Amino acid sequence: MKSARKILTLFATTMTLAASSFNVSAQDISVSQEEMVVEYYAIPSPDEILSYIHNNEIGYTRSLLTDPTKSNLYQTSTDRLLSFGFYMADMAYSASFEQSGTALRYFEVTETIGKNINLFPPEIQNIGERLMNNMNRMDSINEIYDELYLLVIANLHDTDRFGEYALISAGGFIESMYLALNSNGSKIKEDEFGMRVWDQKMILDQLNNMFNKYLNETQKKQLLGDFEGLNAAFSEYSTSEASERTSEKRSDGAVVIGSNSTEPSTSNPIDKIHKEVNKLRDKWVKK
């Protein structure tokens, strides 16, 4: 996972070179615009989104994984790209819990999908054999996973297929969140997840930007509609956090925290995020 972060950092840094793809000269790009371009390509991999699982003592929960035998049910281009994202997340999840046989099964599924929709560059052709030769070496499997993901994303960038990258990232993001929130023994909602909501909100904002910029009108309408509930849940969380931080001084000198709210909230905003993640994942995954 550390190697993936280093490579992703370097990869994201080089994305400012993509200015030529937008027909903009280097002189015309301000620092803030350069940072915006980088953000479009800095979506964490499913492996990175899942990286805090073991810190919260989450238990491996096989029943949560997307059924690999249903991969042929994803017929449209959009569905296939989304499914590639959540099958990659399932592979990362399995590998992180040292379930090498399951991780290999999900590699086989992603390999089939990737070849069918031309996601794989030539360098990926020998990865399956390398996985077979490293079945008992989880560090090697994790490194191969990192390499697989980065090669796919680099290939999409090199061929200006940013809309496809957005869809793959969306599938991986939702599946990773689903696995993290629903695994046996999960305490993320009570502990760690509360501190990571802002990280996930940033990823969600980047995805929304990519949907608007790179998807065709049909895809854009579908994806923005699908994410409407989750966007609202994150916005509600942001509002509730801001409300808790507000204060007002009464005439008697006492400070009232969260005084902007006339009625105390009876719902947990993180529960709504959890509900919307499950809802969207259920809509996308074929049963």
Work out the mean pLDDT of the chain and round it to a whole number: 75
pLDDT over threshold 50, residue 214: yes
pLDDT over threshold 80, residue 149: yes
**pTM, full prediction:** 0.76
18 vs 93, residue with greater confidence: 93
Query: What is the tens place of the pLDDT at every residue in 177-202?
Result: 999 889 998 776 665 566 677 788 88
> Residues 78-105: what's their mean pLDDT?
91
212 vs 267, residue with greater confidence: 212
Q: Which of 159-168, 183-192, 251-260 has the lowest mean pLDDT?
A: 251-260
Q: In the Cβ-directed half-sphere of 161, how many Cα atoms lie within 13 Å?
A: 19
Cβ-defined contacts of 124-131 (< 8 Å, 24+): 124/148, 124/151, 124/152, 131/103, 131/104, 131/107
The pLDDT value given to residue 171? 97
Per 3-state DSSP, the chain is made up of helix, strand and coil in percentages (nearest 5) of 70, 5, 25
**How many Å apart are CA 27 and CA 132, to the nearest integer?**
49
**How many Å apart are CA 39 and CA 78, to the nearest integer?**
22
**How many Å apart are CA 235 and CA 240, to the nearest integer?**
9
The pLDDT value given to residue 56? 65
The pLDDT value given to residue 144? 76
SS3 229: helix
pLDDT over threshold 90, residue 24: no
Query: What is the tens place of the pLDDT at every residue in 44-76?
Result: 888 888 876 666 678 899 999 999 999 999 999
